[in-house]
C-alpha cells in the first residue's frame, strides 16, 4: 500500500471542514463499515455521532478533497451500537477486494494511527497518561517529556536469483503450500543491506551479492514498511532454518509453486523478476 493519487496528507485539522468527513473508525483491528457485504461503504463522522460512537480522533488529510479522520473506538464498543447506525466491524484483509484501492490505502493508514493511539496512552518511561503533541503526529508525556511517534518497522524482502532460477521459501506460518521471497525485520544497528545478508544466511544458509532495490510497500499488519530487493546467489549450500522455514527451493520460471496474492509486494517482486529472467533467456 502507498499514498494514493488524490490524497493530501495532513495532521492538522482545518478550522473549517469543506463538507462531510469520512470516518475510518477502528475497534481494535476492525473497521466500522456500512453498505452491503460485497460493496462496503465508509461512514461519515455524522453517522458515527448519530450512533453514539466516539473515541480519540486524528486528522489524516483529504482524499479527493474529502476530509478523512481516524477514530480509535473503545475496545468494548458493542456490535449492537454500530448496527443501530447500519454499521458492522470488518477486518482490513476482508476488505481487500471490495473497497477501492485508494480508500483501502487510507484505511490501512488509519489503522496504523489508531493502533498507535491505543498502545501509547501511557508514557513508556514513567507511566503518566500521554497527550497529543501540538503541531505533530506525536504523543508526549506531560511529566517527563518523552515523545512517541507512530511506529513504522522497516523490513526487507529479497528475491534471490541463480541463473534463470529464483529462490522461494515456505514459512511455517504461510497458508497452504504458498511460497514467497525471503523477508525479515531490520534489527538495531543494521543497514537494510546488512539485514539482507543476515536474514538470507540465517534462513537458508547462503551468501548473496548484487543487491538491487525493487520497490517498497507500507503493510499495516501492524506497522511494517516492506522494502523489496533482488539479489544474486554468491555461494553456499541451501539449508533452510527449520524454526522459521519449512522448505526452500530454486524454481525455474515455468515451474513456479503457489505464490502470494497480487496485493502483496512479494508477488509484484516475483512477477517482475520472473518476467526479466524469461526475457533474458
Ligand atoms: Zn513520562
Q: What is the pLDDT of residues 21-54, one digit of tens each?
A: 999 999 999 999 999 989 999 999 999 998 899 9
Predicted confidence at residue 13, as pLDDT, reads: 83
DSSP-assigned beta bridge partners for residue 182: 158
Please tell me the distance between residue 148's alpha carbon and the centre of ligand 1 in angstroms.
10
Please tell me the distance between residue 120's alpha carbon and the centre of ligand 1 in angstroms.
11
Cα–Cα nearest to 162, from 249, 271, 266: 249
* Cβ 191 vs Cβ 81: under 8 Å: no
* Cβ 222 vs Cβ 115: under 8 Å: yes
Cis, bond preceding 222 (omega within 30 deg of 0)? yes
Cα–Cα nearest to 181, from 130, 124, 226, 114: 226
* Cβ 170 vs Cβ 177: under 8 Å: yes
Q: Which three cell numbers stand for residue 94?
A: 476482508
Q: What is the pLDDT of residues 196-228, one digit of tens each?
A: 999 999 999 999 999 999 999 998 888 899 999
Protein residues near ligand 1, an ion, with CB under 5 A? 123, 125-126, 128, 141, 143-144, 146
Please tell me the distance between residue 48's alpha carbon and the centre of ligand 1 in angstroms.
33
Q: What is the pTM of this model?
A: 0.90
Amino acid at each position: 500500500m502507498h499514498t494514493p493519487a488524490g490524497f493530501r496528507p495532513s495532521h492538522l485539522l482545518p478550522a473549517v471542514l469543506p463538507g462531510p468527513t469520512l470516518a475510518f473508525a477502528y475497534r481494535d483491528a476492525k473497521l466500522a463499515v456500512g453498505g452491503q457485504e460485497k460493496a462496503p461503504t465508509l461512514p461519515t463522522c455524522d453517522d458515527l455521532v448519530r450512533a453514539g460512537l466516539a473515541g480519540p480522533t486524528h486528522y489524516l488529510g483529504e482524499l479527493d478533497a474529502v476530509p478523512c479522520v481516524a477514530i480509535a473506538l473503545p475496545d468494548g464498543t458493542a456490535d449492537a451500537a454500530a448496527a443501530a447506525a447500519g454499521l458492522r466491524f470488518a477486518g482490513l484483509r476482508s476488505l481487500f477486494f471490495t473497497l477501492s484501492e485508494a480508500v483501502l490505502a487510507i484505511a490501512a493508514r488509519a489503522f496504523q494511527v489508531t493502533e498507535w493511539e491505543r498502545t501509547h496512552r501511557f508514557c513508556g518511561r514513567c507511566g503518566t497518561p500521554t497527550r497529543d503533541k501540538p503541531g505533530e503526529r506525536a504523543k508526549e508525556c506531560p511529566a517527563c517529556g518523552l515523545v512517541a511517534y507512530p511506529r513504522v518497522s522497516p523490513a526487507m524482502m529479497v528475491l534471490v536469483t541463480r541463473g534463470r532460477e529464483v529462490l522461494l521459501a515456505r514459512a511455517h506460518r504461510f497458508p497452504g503450500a504458498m511460497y514467497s521471497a525471503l523477508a525479515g525485520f531490520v534489527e538495531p544497528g543494521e543497514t537494510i543491506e546488512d539485514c539482507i545478508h543476515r536474514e538470507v544466511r540465517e534462513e537458508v544458509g547462503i551468501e548473496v551479492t548484487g543487491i538491487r532495490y525493487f520497490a517498497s510497500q507500507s503493510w499495516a499488519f501492524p506497522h511494517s514498511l516492506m522494502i523489496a530487493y533482488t539479489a544474486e546467489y554468491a555461494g553456499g549450500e541451501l539449508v533452510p532454518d527449520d524454526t522459521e522455514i519449512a522448505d526452500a527451493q530454486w524454481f525455474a520460471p515455468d515451474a513456479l509453486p503457489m505464490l502470494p496474492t497480487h496485493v502483496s509486494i512479494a508477488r509484484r517482486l516475483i512477477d517482475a523478476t520472473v518476467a526479466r529472467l524469461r526475457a533474458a533467456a
